[in-house]
Amino acid sequence: MMSPASRRTRALVALAVGVALVGATPADARPPVPPQPPAPEVSDATVHDPDHIAVDGVHYVFGSHLQVARSDDLVAWEQVAAGVNAANPIFEDVTEELSEALEWAETDSLWAPDVTQLPDGRFAMYYNACRGDSPRSAMGLAVADDVTGPYEDQGIFLKSGMWDQESEDGTVYDARVHPNVVDPDVFTDTDGRWWMVYGSFSGGIFILELDPVTGFPLPDQGYGTHLWGGNHARIEGPTVHYDAETGFYYLFVTYGGLDADGGYNVRVARSTAPDGPYLDMAGRSMGEVAADPSKPLFDDVSIAHTGVKLMGNHEFTRLPGDPGSGRGTGYVSPGGSSPFTVDGLDYLVFHTRFPGQGEIHQVRVHEMFLDAQGWPVLAPLRYGGDSYRTSKRHDAVGTWAVVDHAPKDIDIDVHAAQQVTLTQQGLVTGAWTGTWERVGVDRILLNLDGDPVTAELSRQFDPGRAEWVWTFTGLQPDGAALWGVRTEHVSAQEAVERVAADLSVPATTATDLDLPVLGTQGSVIAWTTSMPDVISPDGEVNRPEQGEPDAVVTLSATIANGDATAEVAFEVTVPARAGTGLVAHYAFDGDLTSPQTASGTVTGPLIDAPGGRISYAEGVAGQAAVFDGASGVRLPDGTVHGPTWSVSLWLNPSAATQHTTTFFAAQSATSWVSLVPRGPGSMDSMVWSGTQWYDASFGRQIPTGEWTHVAFTVDAGDIVAWIDGERVHESSGFPDVLKDPSAVFALGVNWWDVPYQGLLDDLRVFDVVLTDADVAGLAGR
């Protein structure tokens, strides 16, 4: 898949500790700066763990769950396929073609594949299936005449997770030292030999030599050579990229867990040989990196300091008064990367989640450069279709938003950008202090609080500001990336006026307000309120009680930046509490009637689909509704609405399919609430909301084949959930979804996902808050 030689046109500065510092070249000796290119026309696709291959100038990425996308320019992506099902065009019927692997791994899905082209022109897919909660996996080879298939299985060649049985190397399988046979990546070395790296958690990352004619591993290698990780260290997704100018093979991996709270981050090490040893910036061999066996399973502390961290959780937050719109640009749990070269330029494609958006993920491509010591670094912003690095001194002088990817801990912290200024006199001020110098036209040397950082300059497109801006990227001495994006600087008075103009507060609210206290360029925002018992200065809302009049509150903001100030005021209505109690009760005793509201109606596999059938069986009390996995129930529109509402029901799933809903309520297709027995990410049961993305996780998955009582209350942004009368979740900031009586309600179906299969009984919907005592009574405790 990877070319054995990089075709980069720019010569690499010699690999040495001392780098010659070059002064500013006279302006007339440099070519003029070209005009800014147009804004890229971006379209996004969903491919987890994307693996890149280019065919006839078209870029394809293949990922987990048989997701596939294509692009002509690395900017606009088109979804080609998704889902391990008979309809996926990559196979005639993948469930039949790869049935042996799926059955061995005891799963219905596939993990990240690698697709490469064999010497005879055929395309080889290295597929893999994994149970998920254990390393029971199978890896095999399928081939096709076209890159998009249909692929035909050639057979399984590796297995793992065979507890107490002989493994591929002839010894009894031990998950602490043997690999989980997933996440393959194929590459060619400088001698034309073919290799495959692979592995996830368990015994770590391994490498096997392949026969390029057949595509299968050469015989008598067992699992191959160990390269990185072990003892269940959370390291996976290996891929190797060779650079001819440095002579290094670069091994990229992902540390941490894949979901939004898993801390996924991209690391790299390098070697002069394809099969290692691979070293990080400290000269540490990755073959010695493993979790501490004396600590709990999946110990991250033992490995966090190792490898070179190229990217992790971060956000270039947009503050009030900053140019552009939205909350800013950033990533959560980026990983599953694949490096590649096009026309002498290097790129990295990966998937990522986003701040405040839960488990939604998309493909991203970033330019990749080599620093003065020959380490890869990533541009801070996604690739916009244009590559330009010839800067002038004034392009570096100014104010920057800087993200520090240190510390290298594997956690949920989102590293927020801080303000730094590079002065015309060569000083660094702000969050860091020190000095800076130019090194040629595309590099600067920063000395930050005593630490040197050689940073690569490039022009990238900022989607929040909708303009091309200068950026820098470099590595700190501890092996963590430092990213900068040049920002606009205005006078203090203009800054406070921009903040005042940008602030907004809803005219009516029953939920707590997020009142910002910081604005652009260090502006400080102080809030006062005419009725602090209703809306406090920090935005906490206390609604008047039922029967009292609505409250009208004046919120005032004073913005200060040095001696400059500005003021703005808002009038906000806080409605009094309302509610009658129980608004719907469906007992399912042979029908879909409710004494409080209209009857439910049967649907097909989607809310608006015709057909379907609901039958009845013995329930918790009397009868229960039987959902067959192809039907649902549409409840009356506007069953409940407003900021306060509650749900109580009994569930007995016969299958737990990810994202399948039991109770679904939606104001629109982009604003909904769903009670899911098996949620995204961790797959715990949860109250899930989109597309503001909120996961109210129960911390465990409700069982199949038995009855469980579930209840939850939403009250002006606060949410509490119970399982069998036990409180399992409590948090704030839950979206206000059910705003008016047009909201849609359903059981077992929504507009997208596989319908519910199992029993449902005694559904009750309230327009008031439920207490622990209320829920205990409903759960029969």
Peptide bond connecting 537 to the previous residue in cis, omega within 30 degrees of 0: no
Q: Are 711 and 654 in contact (CB under 8 A)?
A: no
Q: Are 508 and 575 in contact (CB under 8 A)?
A: yes
Of the candidates 580, 717, 722, the one whose C-alpha atom is nearest the C-alpha of residue 649 is: 722
Q: How far is residue 381's CA from residue 318's CA, in Å, rounded to a whole number?
A: 14
Q: How far is residue 617's CA from residue 253's CA, in Å, rounded to a whole number?
A: 51
Two structure tokens written together for 710: 């579930």
Q: How far is residue 191's CA from residue 57's CA, in Å, rounded to a whole number?
A: 26
| Beta pairing partners, 53 | 60
Q: What is the largest CA-CA distance in the chain?
A: 88
Of the residues 97, 114, 183, 236, only one is catalytic, namely 236
One-character DSSP codes across 179-236: PP----EEEE-TTS-EEEEE-BSTT-EEEEEE-TTT-SBPSS-TT-EEEE--TT-SEE
Q: Are 770 and 779 in contact (CB under 8 A)?
A: no
Question: Where is 459: in which H helix or E strand?
Answer: strand 451-462
- Measured distance between the N- and C-terminal CA atoms of the chain, rounded to whole angstroms: 60
User: For residues 143-172, b (16+ Cβ closer than 10 Å) or e, as one string?
Assistant: bbeebbbbbebeebbbbbbeeeeebbeeee
Reported for 218-224, long-range contacts at CB under 8 A and 24+ positions apart, including other chains, are: 222/167, 222/168, 222/169, 222/170, 223/158, 223/167, 223/168, 223/169, 223/178, 223/179, 223/181
Helix (H, G, I), strand (E, B) or coil at 96: helix
Q: For residue 30, what are the contacts with CB-CB under 8 A and spacing of at least 6?
A: 390, 392, 441
Two structure tokens written together for 602: 């049967």
Three-state secondary structure string covering 642-690: CCEEEEEEEEEECCCCCCCCCEEEEEECCEEEEEECCCCCCCCCEEEEE
Q: How far is residue 198's CA from residue 218's CA, in Å, rounded to a whole number?
A: 15
Of the residues 49, 300, 512, 695, only one is catalytic, namely 49
Single-letter amino acid code for the residue at 596: Q
Q: How far is residue 765's CA from residue 665's CA, in Å, rounded to a whole number?
A: 11
Q: For residue 122, what are the contacts with CB-CB under 8 A and spacing of at least 6?
A: 143, 144, 145
Q: For residue 187, what are the contacts with CB-CB under 8 A and spacing of at least 6?
A: 1, 2, 4, 194, 195, 196, 197, 239, 240, 241, 242, 274
Residue 236 known to be catalytic: yes
Question: Where is 137: in which H helix or E strand?
Answer: strand 137-144
Residue 726: how many CB atoms within 10 A of its CB? Answer: 14
What single-letter DSSP state applies at residue 395?
Answer: H
Between CA 41 and CA 48, with CA 45 as vertex, the angle to 5 degrees is 140
What single-letter DSSP state applies at residue 394?
Answer: H
Helix (H, G, I), strand (E, B) or coil at 242: strand
One-character DSSP codes across 148-180: T---EEEEEEEEE--BTSB-TTSSBB-TTTSPP
Give the gyration radius of the chain's Cα atoms: 28
Q: Helix H segments across 58-133?
A: 94-97, 99-105
Of the candidates 639, 635, 646, the one whose C-alpha atom is nearest the C-alpha of residue 734 is: 646
Reported for 349-353, long-range contacts at CB under 8 A and 24+ positions apart, including other chains, are: 349/50, 349/52, 349/61, 349/74, 350/50, 350/266, 350/311, 351/46, 351/47, 351/48, 351/49, 351/50, 351/63, 353/259, 353/260
Q: Which residues are catalytic?
A: 49, 236
